[in-house]
Amino acid sequence: MCGIAVVNILLGCLAIIFQVMALFVSDDIHRYSQDLAFTGVWGGVFLILFGVLLKNHKIGAATIKFMAIFSAITGIILIGLYSWSINTYPLPVSECQDWDYYNPSTVLLSCNRVVVDSLLISCGILIVLTNTIIASKASALSFTSY
C-alpha cells in the first residue's frame, strides 16, 4: 500500500502548485480572500509530510487515522473555498468574460481563474477520497515493531 502514500505526496505537490498558480492569475490578490488563506500551500505541505511518514512506515494506526482525517478536512476546505470563489463570479463565466469589458486583460484573467479554481476543487475531491481510503485501511498501513 505504498502507492497510496505516493498519491498523497503527489496531491500535496499539486495543491501547492495550483495555489501558487492561483496567486499568479489573480489580478487583485486582495479581491480573492480565499487565496490569502494559502490553503493549498499549508495543506500541500501537510499532505507531503503525511505521505512521506506513511511511505517510510514511521507512524502507528491511530496517528494514521488522525492525519488522514486532518488531510481530508484540508481537502474539504479546498473544495469549500474555491467553490465559494466560483460562486462569486459574474454571470457570463461560461464565456470567460469579466465585468470590465474595456480592459481585455481581465477577460483572460477570468478564464485563468475559472481553470485554477476548478483544478483546486478537483484536487480537494481527490484529497478527500484518498485520505478516506487511508483512514479506512490505517491498521494495515501502520508501523509494527517486532
Tell me which DSSP letter residue 89 carries: S
What's at 123, amino acid-wise?
A: C
For all residues of the chain together, what is the average pLDDT?
80
Tell me which DSSP letter residue 16 carries: H
How many whole angstroms separate alpha carbon 21 and alpha carbon 117?
Answer: 10
Alpha-carbon distance values, 25 to 3, 35, 53, 117 (Å): 33, 11, 33, 11
Helix (H) or strand (E) holding 39: helix 39-55
pLDDT at 119 over 80: yes
pLDDT at 35: 62
8 A C-beta contact, residue 72 and residue 132: yes
How many whole angstroms separate alpha carbon 53 and alpha carbon 59?
Answer: 7
Q: Which three cell numbers stand for residue 90?
A: 459574474
How many whole angstroms separate alpha carbon 145 and alpha carbon 71?
Answer: 25
pLDDT at 146: 43
> Binning pLDDT at 50, 70 and 90, where does residue 58 land?
confident
pLDDT at 47 over 90: yes
What does the pLDDT average to over 45-70? 91
Q: What is the pLDDT of residues 6-32, one digit of tens each?
A: 999 999 999 999 988 888 877 655 566
Q: What is the pTM of this model?
A: 0.81
